[in-house]
Amino acid sequence: MIPRRHTLDDNSLQQALSALVQSGSRANPAYDTLLGDYTLFHAVLAIEGGIFALLLGLLCWGCWRRLGQLRRAEAGRAAFEQWVVIGFGLASAVAALALVVVVAANLSNVLDPQAGFAQAIPELGTPHAGTRQAAIHREVAAWARSGAAAMPAALRDALRDRLAWQLPKAIVCSGLLAVAAALTAALWRRLIRRAAQATQWGPKAYAGIAAGVLAAPTTLLLMLMAMANTQASFAPITLTLLFG
- Alpha-carbon gap, residue 164 to 233, rounded angstroms: 10
| Mean pLDDT for all residues in the chain | 87
What does pTM read for this prediction? 0.85
- What's residue 186's pLDDT? 94
C-alpha–C-alpha distance, residues 113 and 39, integer Å = 6
pLDDT in tens, 17-33: 888 888 876 778 999 99
Q: How confident is the model at residue 127 (pLDDT cuts 50, 70, 90)?
A: confident
- pLDDT value of position 147: 85
pLDDT at 171 over 70: yes
DSSP letters spanning 149-196? SSPPHHHHHHHHHHHHHHHHHHHHHHHHHHHHHHHHHHHHHHHHHHHH
Confidence (pLDDT) at 10? 42
Under a CB-based contact definition with an 8 Å cutoff, are residues 240 and 159 in contact?
A: yes
167 confidence band (pLDDT: 50, 70, 90): very high
